[in-house]
Amino acid sequence: MLNFRSMNILFISLLLLSMVGEITYGVPFYVYIILAVVYSLLLFYGCYYVGSNFFIPVICSAKTDRKVVALSFDDGPIAGNTLQILQTLKDNNAEAAFFCIGSRITQNKAIFNQIHYEGHLIGNHTFSHHFWFDMFSAKRMLADMRMMDKAMNSIIGKTPKLFRPPYGVTNPNLKKAIIEGNYIPVGWSMRSMDTVIKDEKKLFNKVISKIKPGAVFLFHDTSNTTVAILPALIKHIHENGYEIIRLDKMLNLQAYA
């Protein structure tokens, strides 16, 4: 499998071969430009596709033939939407995973307590969810992640073990922070794009087309469209013989440190 280390070895080898070829056979200069472009594209893919395992292995689904799926919600808790999501889950006796932002749990302690009290998994989604988080140093990343841990522990007495990168972006600095913080990185197999899809029918059809054994679905508390389709989605999942299982249980992971 191509990862950051193997890619660097490959491209250093190709660069050396190109240099030898230039001296021996007069390889044209544009070969170096092609190498640089291809390298940049692969690097971009590795950073922005959470399931690439490019910098660090990220668990994105369960390897199973059982008809089970997991629902996950990022960026909460927020007033209104999170409560509606919790009510829908309760009405359908379904457990989900909430990857919460630390600054928002301190602003919505009652909702955060309810998430925990009703049996849902809570994971680390950083404290700030800063737009430039992926540009932080490893030290600053880890400090932000631990701020989330501290905020969560002060409210429910638990420290999250599972971590989901903001925007799904990974890089060498985040790898270092994850390892040093002893987190388990978790992604998804189906990105709903509910932050940009506002049409309920379009979102619903996109999601149900990706239902398969072991799938992990990514939604956001901030999406009104997700809130609207969730009851019908859960009904569709059940009608097709699938069971909704809490993410840590489906992936057999330790939820808290």
Contact indicator for 73, 85 with CB cutoff of 8 Å: yes
CA distance 70 to 76: 17
Domain boundaries, the chain: 4-48, 68-251
CATH of domain 68-251: 3.20.20.370
Task: Record the tokens describing residue 70, joined without a space.
Answer: 């997991």
For 127-175, how does the pLDDT look when each residue is reduced to its tens digit (9 = 90+)?
999 999 999 999 999 999 999 999 999 999 999 999 999 999 999 999 9
For 27-84, how does the pLDDT look when each residue is reduced to its tens digit (9 = 90+)?
788 888 999 999 999 999 999 899 999 999 999 999 999 999 999 999 999 999 999 9
Q: What is the DSSP letter of 32?
A: H
Pairing of strands 243-244, 68-74: parallel
Q: What angle do CA 230, 232, 235 make, to 5 degrees?
A: 110
